[in-house]
Amino acid sequence: MAPAAHRSYRGWDKRKPGGMEEQQLSFPDGPRLDLDEAIASLLAHAERVRTTQERLRALLSATQAVVEESELSVVLRRIVDAAVALVDAEYGALGVISPEGDSLDEFIYVGLDESAAAAIGNLPTGHGLLGALIVEPHPIRLSHMRSDRRASGFPAHHPPMDSFLGVPVRVRGEVFGNLYLTNRREGQFTSEDEQLIEALATTAGFAIENARLLDQARTRERWMKTAAELSSSVLSSPTETSLDLISGRIFDLPDIDQVTIVLTDDEGKNVRVAAARGPGEATLRGSVLETDAVCAGSVLSDGKPRSLPRGEPTDDPLRLTRDGAEGPVLVAPLRTRARLWGAVCIARSPSGRRFTATETESAADLASRASIALELAHAREEGQRSMLADDRRRIARDLHDHVIQQLFGTGLTLQAVASGLPSGPATERLNESVAQLDDAITQIRNVIFALSHSDSSSIRHHIIDAVAELTGSLTRPPVFRFIGPVDHAITGPLAADVLGAARELLSNAVRHSQADRISVEVGVVDGLAVVSVEDNGVGIPATGRRSGLDNVAHRANARGGEFSLDTSETGTVAKWSVPLADE
């Protein structure tokens, strides 16, 4: 063996059976070092391959988690969860950019519990470093956030954040939002992290687009179903309850926190809240608001539906306010070709998402269908009222032309018979019958007036309504008469005093007199407005409460009139009169 070869191998230390010596194999130092480096490099490369394989598996798992869900809100949440797990970040968020493209409309966060988020206050809207991604939608990777000039600092109680990775999420070439990741648990964010998040963002864009399309289809389906049900219900309901029905059905839709329906006046300066559902419905219903001071004002002026995002408080009662911010609102007009009824205002709390274009279109379609149904229901009721008015006029005409004439003829006959009889009980009974016929004729004339006159604002109508309201429990209805031109002479504030006096005197007779015969007389006599109520009851005790009668007397004295009360155990006559000169 050559000397070099002999130096390269150690001999066998001992012989083994069979005559062969056992020797130990060894390498020179140079090749041995090369071999060690090669093995170490191979192991490092294998480790990188293993790590890359694990991260690719993680990316595949994250992609699968994102694309397997179809609900948009769940998809957005899963995107943030997958991104945080993929790069081992402590905090993550997805900011959805507003339609105007200058701020964040939604902010879905991971890593903060509810108490920590509440301590921070309002969610970010897209300023500072977060807004930089909105202005320039390109990935941003920082080792220290505070060292970047675009960082605007953190609000009070905000957890510390250092490393930062931001990547835009695009949907069909349009930036939908941005992924924000902070505080990588093992060191700083790397270029591999950036590539992985970009790959996830690309997949997330397709998932978001599919989820949005499905969400739009479901939204249209819900609103169209509600619109169809509403149209049918409104057509079969009275118009005075239809607005409450509309507001209730809309309030039952998902993610709706308050619904109000406002009706405009003839001049368009004020609106009245005709129906309301939500936290402020008790105070809102029936309130009158200035048109220019509420969100419905612009919709009532141009008739176009619109949605408004959350913003600064404006003291608009039709919007929900909390923690110094107003929630989003959607306003749709209630109008047909014939008229503008008003508007439907649909509000969400400040923490709610903005109304989408699909929701705005669907709400406008629902409001249009509801308006048509209201118009048809109104026309139906007008037709029914017209038919009822025709029937009432026919009945009034028959009463006047036939019944009153027959009673009048009978009264004349009885008077003629009584005049030919000597004085006595039979004559008195005939005269009483004639008086009863006169009372019946008076009552029928009052009925004829109520049937044939549609002006419910006259004093005569008010008196008739008061008598019907206060004497409904009596077995024998009271007799009431009108003397002179009461509707022409008793108007304005005087009419209110006359009605108040008549109601108080009649109410007192019904409740306390125990009478079976009550008569009410309202008339214009010798320049005076006179109210007289007579009953055959037990009279008014001297020690009884007289606060109501004192009020009646005060009304008379205030107008320079007088009030007299003649009461005994056999009945009471109360007479109230005031001059007409002031009127």
CATH of the domain at 545: 3.30.565.10
For the residues 85-110, what does the mean pLDDT come to?
83
502 and 466 in contact (C-beta within 8 Å)? Answer: yes
Q: Identify the helix (H) or strand (E) that includes residue 441.
A: helix 425-452
- Which residue would you say has higher pLDDT here, 345 or 102? 345
Of the three residues 364, 382, 400, the one that is the final residue of a domain is 382
Indicate whether 419 belongs to any domain.
no
pLDDT band at residue 12, thresholds of 50, 70 and 90?
very low
pLDDT of residue 14: 47
Do 547 and 559 reside in the same domain of the chain?
yes
| Residue 311 covered by a domain | yes
At residue 396 the predicted structure's pLDDT band, cuts being 50, 70 and 90, is low
Note whether residue 405 is domain-resident: no
Looking up tokens 């899963």 gives 78
Q: 88 with 38, same domain?
A: no
53 and 126 together in one domain: no
**Strand (E) positions, 111-195?**
140-142, 164-171, 174-184
Both 64 and 97 in one domain: the answer is: no
Asked which of 161-165, 309-313, 493-497 is least confident by mean pLDDT, the reply is 309-313
CATH of the domain at 125: 3.30.450.40
With b for 16 or more beta-carbon neighbours within 10 A and e for fewer, the 219-248 pattern comes to: beeebeebbeebbebbeeeeeeebbbbbbe
Residue 424, in any domain of the structure: no
Query: Which residue(s) pair with 275 in the sheet?
Result: 261
Is 330 domain-assigned? yes
Identify whether residues 152 and 288 lie together within a single domain. Answer: no
Residue 392 within any structural domain of the chain: no
Which of helix, strand or coil describes residue 554? helix
The answer to whether 344 and 261 have CB atoms below 8 angstroms apart is yes
**If pLDDT is split at 50, 70 and 90, which confidence band does 8 have?**
very low
Mean pLDDT of the chain: 81
Q: How far apart are alpha carbons 165 and 197 in whole angstroms?
A: 9
Q: 132 with 162, same domain?
A: yes
Higher pLDDT, 492 or 363: 363
Same domain, residue pair 184 and 258: no
Same domain, 64 and 77: no
Residue 307 shares a structural domain with residue 361 = yes
Asked if 539 and 574 sit in the same domain, the reply is yes
Q: How far is 326 from 421, CA to CA, in rounded Å?
A: 89
What pLDDT shows up at residue 113?
Answer: 81
Question: C-alpha distances in angstroms, 254 versus 223, 308, 352, 353?
Answer: 10, 18, 11, 12
- Whether the pLDDT of residue 17 is over 70: the answer is no
Tell me the whole-structure pTM to 2 decimals: 0.56
pLDDT of residue 414: 78
Which comes out higher in pLDDT, residue 61 or 300?
300
Identify the domain boundary among 33, 68, 103. 68
Beta strand pairing status for 140-142 and 104-110? unpaired
The total number of structural domains that make up the chain: 4
Is residue 315 within 8 A of residue 286, CB to CB? The reply is no
Report the range of poorest mean pLDDT among 140-154, 221-235, 340-354, 565-579.
140-154
Q: Which residue has better confidence, 234 or 99? A: 234
User: Which among 345, 362, 382 is the end of a domain?
Assistant: 382
Co-location of 312 and 207 in the same domain:
no
Q: Does residue 189 share a domain with residue 106?
A: yes
In this predicted structure, the answer to whether residue 51 has a pLDDT above a threshold of 70 is no
Determine, yes or no, domain membership for 252. yes
Domain that holds residue 545: 455-583
Q: Is residue 446 part of a domain?
A: no
